[in-house]
Copies of this chain bind each other. A is one copy, B any other.
Amino acid sequence: MTTLPGMADEELLRLDQQICFSLNAASRAFGGVYRVLLRDLGLTYPQYLVMLVLWEDGDLPVKRIGERLRLDSGTLSPLLKRLEVAGLVRRERSPEDERSVTVGLTSEGSVLRERAGQVPRRLLAATGLPVEDLAALRELLERVTGALDSAVVEPAP
Residues in A lying within 8 Å of B, measured CB to CB: 1-4, 7, 9, 12-13, 15-30, 32-34, 36-37, 39-41, 45, 49, 52, 56, 69-70, 115-138, 140-149, 151, 153, 155-157
Q: How far is the CB of A157 from chain B (nearest CB, A)?
A: 5
Known contacts A4-B131, A128-B146, A128-B148; 14 further A-B pairs (Cβ under 8 A): A15-B134, A15-B138, A17-B120, A19-B124, A20-B49, A24-B69, A25-B70, A26-B145, A36-B153, A36-B155, A37-B157, A41-B157, A129-B147, A136-B140
> Would you call B119 and A30 a contact (CB within 8 A)?
no
Copies in the complex: 2
> Which residue from B15, B128, B137, B144 sits with its C-beta under 8 Å from A151?
B128
12 contacts between A and B (CB under 8 A): A1-B130, A4-B125, A12-B121, A20-B49, A21-B49, A23-B27, A23-B30, A122-B153, A122-B157, A125-B151, A127-B147, A136-B136
